[in-house]
Structure 1
Amino acid sequence: MKATSIVEFVRDTYKTDEFIPLHAPTFNGNEKAYVMETIESTFVSSVGKFVDDFERRVEAYTGAPKAVATVNGTAALHAALYMADVQRGDLVITQALTFVATCNALYHMGAEPIFVDASPVSLGLCPKAVDTFLSEYAEVTETGCVHKQTGRRIKAVVPMHTFGHPVELDELVAVCLKWNITLVEDAAESLGSFYKGKHTGTFGEFGAVSFNGNKIITTGGGGMVLCKTQELGLRTKYVTTTAKVPHIYEFFHDEPGFNYRMPNLNAALGCAQMEVIERYLQQKRQIATGYSDLFSGSDFKFVTEPAYAKSNYWLNAVVCPDKESRDEVLAETNGLGVMTRPVWQLMHRLPMFEHSICGDLSYSEFLEAHLINLPSTPTEI
């Protein structure tokens, strides 16, 4: 497979000779009308009808009993972990193959990650690797799951649905129940992805979604906490809106809270984007089918959705036969104005996480050296 063949396919897909980014926002609906309505109302900050409307739309789409809008995806994950009772000094199992925001949320809580390998099935957190690690290094006590060597509590498991492909959720739920650990889903990349017909982010106690400018729909900056129950959702909403006790004019806050409220201006954009999400998903699936056909019969392996899932194909990916071919494709495609990128450097290689506890990471290391992301913007641009 030559890089020029990839460039030719991408340019033919997007019908342009200009620079082609990895994933750009798409605005072809009511975005301008809703944002202008917000501006004219003067309710551009955290009070306004679009915030509530956006939360209801996401609840209806995902099936979450309660969704709570936040200022970005990292804030959503931070709030989710806080609500899951992750505390300073706790350990949290997650994958080394993830975007740094997953681990930043842990860092700022005073918790630390344990890095476990990715699954060849999903590219996300491997349930077998989690269970193997816990069987060797952990035990269940009266206070919960404990890391035997350090005596620290292992409070949560945080899988990330890599590039929008759902992890093996039934197996992860079973592992968490076995070891008395809370499941919190990093669903930042997986709005529009379903596991056996149920939306990602709704299997754990909490899920965190991102609406960054490069996601399948965007609010500019924004996130959402998907909550397992109405009660948890109301509590999350309270905590993320500065824990202010309702009163017609008095300001009284009865506990420390977060100012993580999504502005009405951003939510207006999100409401318009939710109206066209199905169209975007269809277009992205068509692009993925084209990539699959392009790489068919070559020694490059296109990443397809797991058999149990319907993925949003947020970022398309291909596994190259070796690092040399990976580097060659990266250099040539970017040199020709078509953006491709390697997968993130593994988290345990970053200076702030290099002393973290790790399991075997052999498949994560393989993907780090072989995987490339490809342009994935919906074609309606």
Structure 2
Amino acid sequence: MLYLDAAATAPVRREVLEAMWPYLTQEFGNASSHHEMGRRALAGLETARETVAGALNCRPAEVVFTSGGTEADNLAVKGIALGRRDRDPARTHVVTSAIEHSAVLDSARDLARWDGFEVTELEVSPEGLVDPAALERAVRADTAVVSVMHANNETGAVQPIAELAAVARARKVPFHTDAVQAAGSLELDVQALDVAALSLAGHKIGAPKGTGALYLRRGTPLRPLLSGGGQERGRRSGTSDVAGAVGLATALRLASAERGERAAHLAGLRDRLIAGILTVVPTAVLSGPDPRERPASRLPGTASFCFPGVNGETVLVDLEARGLLVSSGSACAAGDAEPSHVLTAMGYPAEVATTAVRFTLSSGITPEQVDGIVAATRDVVQRLGAPRG
């Protein structure tokens, strides 16, 4: 079986497991305990925090460990919005985009449903990109927070985060970005991006599922979402998962060191795959930016298509029968028969959006295997009776 669903999750790296092992065995102390075992656990936790801070170019105190990307997104969107309103009751407006991960979209909609906020969901271009000028028009005097993802999990579209963040910064509004998909491939220097908050998930970069972090710029208002023992400097209560934090930090350090070489390799494979499928399946539609025109606007390992006239789920089943494991879009929406909200926001008709297939590549794949993927996709789409160009 050839695994082509790296955007859903990545295997845990051996180096990560080895770094975590001591904190799962002999160093099992609670980092909040005031004795030797607790102090050693705390030392491991704080070393992990320093490692994450080094990768993000921020202060260790600005790193909050979470249970994953979903919690980090909730804490950023809800926590900052509520924290800003606590300081200024007039701050009751949230800006996000229509193509965000559900962890962000649902957080914003929860604020509207339960807390009296108004939410603006920015439209995107047919390529799935947010226009900084549209954000500038949307930000108001009562805007509490802006959240736009770094890279889309379905199409691989990379947003102009530094430009978007500059718009928010000029209006003195905290800017959050969901960088869960970007972490393995894009530079995450929070000073260069100029963001107030940034979310990470460990399982996308070789750490276990259930690990994550939120960068939160010093001084950014935040209302904690979890009450309890006041861990993470009062921002996220709960017994610290020391082993998970160590695993996330190790994976992020490795990803940062390998990013340049890995991204260049994956981009070559991606371009080969895109060119091949568009050649042998003339009716295929590439969703998201075309890397042949704007290579920096698409994640290096993501190629997503719609195949009008065939059912995307059927393509998945047939490709799996041929040994290729792919996805129809976000793994978080598995089993959802509705068309992708990302593709419909980009202007795709519902009947076309339901034909989506996403290929996300990992470094171990060879050019010859890419050619095999192209041939298998051609055969499956033709067998299912898609109209020929």
1:276 maps to what in 2? 254
Deviation of 1:238 (Å):
8.8
Aligned to 2:200, which of 209, 227, 238?
209
Aligned to 1:227, which of 190, 203, 216?
216
2:51 maps to what in 1? 57
Asked whether the 8 Å contact 1:63–1:202 carries over to 2, the reply is no
Aligned to 2:15, which of 30, 45, 52?
30
User: What are the superposed Cα offsets for residues 128-172 of structure 1, whole Å, 9 maximum, x if unpaired?
Assistant: 44345x3xxx7x4xxx23xxxxxxxx4222101214654112432
* RMSD (CA atoms): 4.3
Asked whether the 8 Å contact 1:165–1:312 carries over to 2, the reply is yes
Query: Partners in 1 of 2:18 and 2:67 — Cα distance?
Result: 22
Name the aligned partner's letter for residue 67 of structure 1.
Answer: V
Could you say what secondary structure the match of 1:93 adopts? strand
Deviation of 1:365 (Å):
6.0
Query: Partners in 2 of 1:100 and 1:239 — Cα distance?
Result: 18
Deviation of 1:292 (Å):
1.0
Query: Partners in 2 of 1:158 and 1:237 — Cα distance?
Result: 17
Name the aligned partner's letter for residue 270 of structure 1.
Answer: L
Query: Partners in 2 of 1:310 and 1:198 — Cα distance?
Result: 18
Gaps of 5+ in 2: 33-40, 337-343, 366-389
Asked whether the 8 Å contact 1:192–1:281 carries over to 2, the reply is no
Greater helix content: 2
**Percent identity for Structure 1 against Structure 2:** 13
2:327 maps to what in 1? 341
Could you say what secondary structure the match of 1:332 adopts? helix
1:126 maps to what in 2? 131
Could you say what secondary structure the match of 1:276 adopts? helix
Aligned to 1:294, which of 250, 273, 281?
273
Aligned to 2:180, which of 179, 185, 188?
188
Asked whether the 8 Å contact 2:97–2:122 carries over to 1, the reply is yes
Deviation of 1:368 (Å):
4.1
Deviation of 1:261 (Å):
5.9
Name the aligned partner's letter for residue 75 of structure 1.
Answer: E
Aligned to 1:265, which of 214, 221, 243?
243
Query: Partners in 1 of 2:17 and 2:107 — Cα distance?
Result: 33
Query: Partners in 2 of 1:208 and 1:37 — Cα distance?
Result: 27
CA shift in 2, pair 1:115/1:339, >3 Å: farther
Query: Partners in 1 of 2:246 and 2:360 — Cα distance?
Result: 27
Asked whether the 8 Å contact 1:64–1:202 carries over to 2, the reply is no
2:107 maps to what in 1? 105
Could you say what secondary structure the match of 1:37 adopts? helix
Query: Partners in 2 of 1:102 and 1:117 — Cα distance?
Result: 15
Asked whether the 8 Å contact 2:147–2:178 carries over to 1, the reply is yes
User: What are the superposed Cα offsets for residues 6-37 of structure 1, whole Å, 9 maximum, x if unpaired?
Assistant: xxxxxxxxxxxx36351243344433332221
Structure 1 length normalisation: TM-score? 0.66
Aligned to 2:75, which of 60, 63, 79?
79
Query: Partners in 1 of 2:184 and 2:332 — Cα distance?
Result: 26
CA shift in 2, pair 1:323/1:53, >3 Å: farther
Deviation of 1:264 (Å):
0.4
Query: Partners in 2 of 1:59 and 1:308 — Cα distance?
Result: 28
Query: Partners in 1 of 2:223 and 2:207 — Cα distance?
Result: 21
Aligned to 2:122, which of 116, 124, 134?
116
Asked whether the 8 Å contact 1:125–1:167 carries over to 2, the reply is yes
CA shift in 2, pair 1:295/1:361, >3 Å: closer
Asked whether the 8 Å contact 2:185–2:262 carries over to 1, the reply is no
Deviation of 1:67 (Å):
1.9
Asked whether the 8 Å contact 1:283–1:379 carries over to 2, the reply is no
Asked whether the 8 Å contact 1:340–1:372 carries over to 2, the reply is yes
Q: Number of aligned residue pairs: give it.
A: 320
CA shift in 2, pair 1:344/1:239, >3 Å: closer
CA shift in 2, pair 1:181/1:202, >3 Å: same
2:207 maps to what in 1? 218
1:317 maps to what in 2? 303
Which one has more relative contact order, counting CA pairs under 8 Å at least 6 apart?
1
**Greater mean deviation of Cα atoms: 53-62 or 303-312:** 303-312
Name the aligned partner's letter for residue 3 of structure 2.
Answer: I
1:150 maps to what in 2? none
Could you say what secondary structure the match of 2:325 adopts? coil
Could you say what secondary structure the match of 2:65 adopts? strand
Name the aligned partner's letter for residue 265 of structure 2.
Answer: Q
Structure 2 length normalisation: TM-score? 0.65
Deviation of 1:340 (Å):
2.2
Deviation of 1:97 (Å):
1.9
Asked whether the 8 Å contact 1:344–1:368 carries over to 2, the reply is no
CA shift in 2, pair 1:80/1:201, >3 Å: farther
Deviation of 1:271 (Å):
3.4
Asked whether the 8 Å contact 2:12–2:208 carries over to 1, the reply is no
